[in-house]
Copies of this chain bind each other. A is one copy, B any other.
């Protein structure tokens, strides 16, 4: 059987298993292709400090889809273009610990591979680097047997953009509307990236524009070194063998975050107690034996080391997230919670939770400046917020990217289901999502998001991550409960008022009868009574407004 043993190229592997990369159905393939291109564009713009301005164009003729994504990013130098678009597992983000949308170096080349598989069409790329006179244009396919780019045509051309990249893909695709549509993906992207402007031309040639709500770029996330607590023994041995440092002390201080001279010495001292005494701060890392490395590994776990640095994680931020939500969602109550950073397996991460609650269909009680109350007609709630008798809508994000598929296997879904929403006044079937006219947004940001598959559609439910999401949900749910309680009081009050107003003329007649008032006196008394009632209402109303604004910031 020996002669049948063969190497399998990573491209062949994913070609046969393309559902692992999100290309299982034509509808999903189309959204995934747009997503991969937009993610790359956003990462590139932010890394170069450019406010992203992105154009997305989708056309769909009888199962053949064309996707064009164009950005104003820094552009790609010519000799990198082919590799970035024509090779799986090639990129700049895998080998560093830093918060970015891409991390695998697979997405966009997988989209190209799918187009090639289904329609035999290579990717068409134009890119211009700032300062270059001409742009580079090429058609790139993947030689799947070797996992390397296959350049079809290549030339230099004039391009009206000063810098940027344009990717055009053709593939078997199916454009659909609804929660799993390109539009829904772009809308959610706009919510999580308030500094982003998108122009989207859909297959009907309608142009939809998502404007930015801020001109401030998010802070550039810092790149970090691994934290010692998250390092497995085998990885430690690998690092010892690969380091440039000449002494164990330098190795510990240089290759890890949160380890200074003092901590390094403490680790070495603890390791000496467990292994032979030969180990010292001057030991050469490459000459450390397996048993010594094991002792070092144990020593690390026993030494007190500062918690992972968290300035490498950049949240969307409460203010920005609120602005994004208000722009794209119709709801009456918004609240945002940003949790402090935490760590799983030595990887820092951070959770943000937002709730958007729309008053259920019954309409809306408003109090005007004079204290008059009235009910508004119910409005159509936006599709990103559930109807009142539906399970809440989940808007899941990881490193600012919306996650549209595999909701059932995601840590975010699990945490929402584990939360006792009945305690906060919502209806919730056992072990299910709560029922409410509400959207729950959860954002997990990390230097390394543990996705459940290469298609990056769900977050692996690590206990530490689940816990942080739950805490964020509870915190925001408490604010929601206060709001709901207040709303309920307001509705009661309204019903009482309506009752009183209805009987006010009768009260007037009765008073006139008892106190022998003239018609004028009667009307004056009634007016006074009415005003007093409104004033008391107005005081409550402004107290309520103050409440609300506290909750919203």
Interface residues of A, Cβ cutoff 8 Å to B? 1-2, 4-10, 12-13, 16-17, 19-20, 24, 44, 47-48, 74, 76-77, 79-80, 83-84, 87, 89-92, 94-96, 104-105, 115-120, 144, 172, 232-238, 290, 293-294, 406, 408-409, 448, 450-454, 460
Known A-B contacts A234-B118, A409-B409, A460-B19; A92 and B1 likewise in contact (beta carbons under 8 Å):
yes
Q: Report whether A120 and B19 are in contact in the complex, using a CB–CB cutoff of 8 Å.
A: no
For A450, the chain B residues whose CB sits under 8 A away are 17, 19
A454–B234 CA distance with the chains assembled, in angstroms: 22
A233–B48 CA distance with the chains assembled, in angstroms: 39
Q: How far is the CB of A83 from chain B (nearest CB, A)?
A: 7
Q: Report whether A8 and B409 are in contact in the complex, using a CB–CB cutoff of 8 Å.
A: no
Known A-B contacts A89-B7, A409-B408; A94 and B234 likewise in contact (beta carbons under 8 Å):
no
Known A-B contacts A16-B448, A20-B454, A80-B2; A120 and B10 likewise in contact (beta carbons under 8 Å):
no
For A454, the chain B residues whose CB sits under 8 A away are 17, 20
Which residue of B7, B12, B144, B460 contacts A90 across the interface (Cβ within 8 Å)? B7
For A9, the chain B residues whose CB sits under 8 A away are 89
For A452, the chain B residues whose CB sits under 8 A away are 19-20, 453
Known A-B contacts A5-B83, A19-B460; A117 and B409 likewise in contact (beta carbons under 8 Å):
no
Q: Report whether A1 and B74 are in contact in the complex, using a CB–CB cutoff of 8 Å.
A: yes
20 pairs, CB–CB < 8 Å, chain A vs chain B: A1-B48, A2-B77, A6-B92, A6-B95, A7-B89, A7-B90, A8-B90, A8-B94, A8-B95, A10-B89, A13-B104, A19-B460, A20-B454, A116-B234, A118-B232, A118-B233, A119-B234, A120-B294, A408-B408, A453-B453
For A20, the chain B residues whose CB sits under 8 A away are 452-454
Which residue of B47, B105, B238, B460 contacts A1 across the interface (Cβ within 8 Å)? B47
For A95, the chain B residues whose CB sits under 8 A away are 6, 8
A95–B3 CA distance with the chains assembled, in angstroms: 13
Q: How far is the CB of A460 from chain B (nearest CB, A)?
A: 6
For A117, the chain B residues whose CB sits under 8 A away are 232-235
Known A-B contacts A24-B460, A454-B20; A5 and B119 likewise in contact (beta carbons under 8 Å):
no
Q: How far is the CB of A457 from chain B (nearest CB, A)?
A: 11
Q: Which 4 A-B pairs have the closest CB atoms?
A: A117-B234, A4-B92, A8-B89, A120-B237
For A118, the chain B residues whose CB sits under 8 A away are 232-234
Q: How far is the CB of A15 from chain B (nearest CB, A)?
A: 8
A451–B19 CA distance with the chains assembled, in angstroms: 9
Known A-B contacts A1-B47, A24-B460; A119 and B233 likewise in contact (beta carbons under 8 Å):
yes
18 A-B pairs besides A5-B91, A6-B95 with CB distance below 8 A are A2-B76, A2-B77, A5-B83, A5-B90, A8-B95, A9-B89, A13-B89, A13-B104, A20-B453, A20-B454, A116-B234, A118-B233, A118-B234, A119-B233, A119-B294, A120-B234, A408-B409, A452-B453
A47–B144 CA distance with the chains assembled, in angstroms: 29
Which residue of B5, B80, B104 contacts A8 across the interface (Cβ within 8 Å)? B104
Q: How far is the CB of A163 from chain B (nearest CB, A)?
A: 13
Closest B residue by C-beta to A118? B232
Q: Report whether B105 and A8 are in contact in the complex, using a CB–CB cutoff of 8 Å.
A: yes
A83–B90 CA distance with the chains assembled, in angstroms: 23
For A451, the chain B residues whose CB sits under 8 A away are 17
For A460, the chain B residues whose CB sits under 8 A away are 19, 24
For A4, the chain B residues whose CB sits under 8 A away are 92, 96
Q: How far is the CB of A100 from chain B (nearest CB, A)?
A: 11
For A77, the chain B residues whose CB sits under 8 A away are 2
A122–B300 CA distance with the chains assembled, in angstroms: 23
